[in-house]
Amino acid sequence: MILCVAIVGQQNNPLYLQSFAGGDDVLKFHYIVHCSLDVFDEKASILRRTGTNLNDNFLGLLYPAEDYKVYGYMTNTRVKFVLVTSDLELKDLDIKTFFQRFHAAYIDVTSNPFHVPGKRIASPMFRDRVKTIVSSFGQL
Amino acid sequence: MRAGSREVAESCLDGITMEMVATYCDRLHSSKPDLAARRIEAIGFQVGQQLAERYTRDRPRFTDHLEVIKFICKDFWAEVFKKQIDNLKTNHRGVFVLQDTRFRWLTRISVDSPLTPSEANNTTLAAAQAGGKYLYFPCGLIRGALTNLGVPCAVSAEIAALPACSFIIRIKV
């Protein structure tokens, strides 16, 4: 089950966080996402050194913990997407597809002329779309 | 073009870019040309940021500045203007000159033909001045795209003879 998805901006500023775990643990997820940012930097710089063809947007598993796993995806514009899941057996391809759809939704919401770049995303339509993407995860 | 993507007639886009210049330069800020230029550039900047996000969706991350500039010259230009940049020059110290011999947004612009040979020189000058206003937006567009891709820079434009023009990109270190 997907516990939480989040978007972090270029300056590591939180842009969006949505929890699916139920209950009041948004703060915990903010903490998890914040912890993953160092791994983002590390992975991106390693990939840059080792070669160009490995510079994929999908960064794979960032770090595992006892009861959840954190996956990451970084775009060309250094916007970071984070997925926290409680499933321990997941196919990389599924996660990659999920991130691509999530990214597409993000592109559409930021193309709104009333959206201010670098500000938190508050669009209810975006929230619904993310919900749909999350609920259809793994069923493709 | 993706299936199901929505399209807009090019004449509408031409119309809106020209009307934007007319609104800001002649009506809203007619006494302050610098302010009008900044306003139009800011609009271009935001659009450039959005387009950069969209057009780089399915490509691996860029490793250096030259790759980003090449992306602007080839793919970005092809998406926005349906052609590639004709000539790219650089001094290898952070300055790039992008030459377009037929810039799409200048092809519909013309100046009055000279009445006497002595006015012919003034015409090229007038063309540069009149066309210059229409390049604030594309300058902002390029700067927005580059900034969003991690290349902070300043962009200016020059018109030699319509519809050719060149964009000068200075990367901030």
Q: Where are the domains of chain A?
A: 2-135
Whether residue B57 and residue A104 make contact (CB cut-off 8 A), yes or no, is yes
Contacts of A103 in chain B (CB under 8 A): 57
Q: How far apart are CA A102 and CA B162, in angstroms?
A: 43
**Selection from A1, A42, A40 nearest residue A20 by Cα:** A1
Compare A128 and A47 and report the one with higher pLDDT. A128
Q: Is the pLDDT reported for residue A140 higher than 60?
A: no
**Residue B117: its pLDDT value, please?**
63
Please state, rounded to an integer, the average pLDDT across all residues of chain A: 83
Shortest CA gap A126–chain B (Å): 16
Q: How much is the pTM?
A: 0.85
**Selection from A135, A62, A66, A51 nearest residue A92 by Cα:** A62
Q: How far apart are CA A15 and CA A41, in angstroms?
A: 18
- Encode pLDDT of A61-71 as tens digits: 888 878 888 88
Q: How far apart are CA B46 and CA B142, in angstroms?
A: 10
Confidence of residue B1 (pLDDT cuts 50, 70, 90): very low
Nearest to B60 among A56, A106, A111 (CB): A56
Class of the domain covering A2-135? alpha beta
**A109 CB contacts (<8 Å, ≥6 apart)?**
A115, A121, A123, A125, A126
Q: Is the pLDDT reported for residue B145 higher than 90?
A: yes
Percent of chain A with pLDDT over 70: 91
Contacts of A111 in chain B (CB under 8 A): 50, 53-54
Nearest to B52 among A48, A57, A77 (CB): A77
- Encode pLDDT of B49-107 as tens digits: 999 988 988 888 887 888 889 999 999 999 888 889 898 999 888 899 999 888 888 88
Q: Is the pLDDT reported for residue B29 higher than 90?
A: no
**Residue A19: its pLDDT value, please?**
84
Q: How far apart are CA A94 and CA B41, in angstroms?
A: 41
Contacts of A53 in chain B (CB under 8 A): 60
Looking at residue B24, what DSSP letter applies? I
Please state, rounded to an integer, the average pLDDT across all residues of chain B: 84
Restricting to A residues 21-80, those with a Cβ less than 8 Å away from any Cβ of B are 44, 47-48, 52-53, 55-57, 74-79
Q: Domain range spanning residue B68?
A: 10-171
Whether A117 has its CB under 8 Å from any CB of chain B: the answer is yes
**Residue A105: its pLDDT value, please?**
92
Is residue A94 exposed (0-12), middle (13-18) or buried (19+ Cβ within 10 Å)? Answer: middle
CATH number for the domain harbouring residue B93: 3.30.1380.20
Whether A119 has its CB under 8 Å from any CB of chain B: the answer is no
Contacts of B53 in chain A (CB under 8 A): 75-77, 79, 106-107, 110-111
Q: Is the pLDDT reported for residue A54 higher than 60?
A: no
**B119 CB contacts (<8 Å, ≥6 apart)?**
none
* Domains: count for chain B: 1
In a domain, B4, yes or no: no
Contacts of B59 in chain A (CB under 8 A): 76
Percent of chain A with pLDDT over 90: 11
Comparing A16-30, A107-121, B43-57, the range with the smallest average pLDDT is A16-30
Restricting to B residues 115-154, those with a Cβ less than 8 Å away from any Cβ of A are 148-150
Contacts of B43 in chain A (CB under 8 A): none
DSSP character string of B67-98: HHHHHIIIIIHHHHHSS--SEEEE-SSSEEEE
The pair of structure tokens assigned to B91 is: 């001094």
**Residue A39: its pLDDT value, please?**
86
- What element of type H or E holds A51? none
Confidence of residue A58 (pLDDT cuts 50, 70, 90): confident
Whether residue B46 and residue A53 make contact (CB cut-off 8 A), yes or no, is no
**Residue B28: its pLDDT value, please?**
85
**Residue A106: its pLDDT value, please?**
92
**Selection from B129, B107, B77, B78 nearest residue B11 by Cα:** B107
Whether residue B46 and residue A79 make contact (CB cut-off 8 A), yes or no, is no
Confidence of residue B132 (pLDDT cuts 50, 70, 90): confident
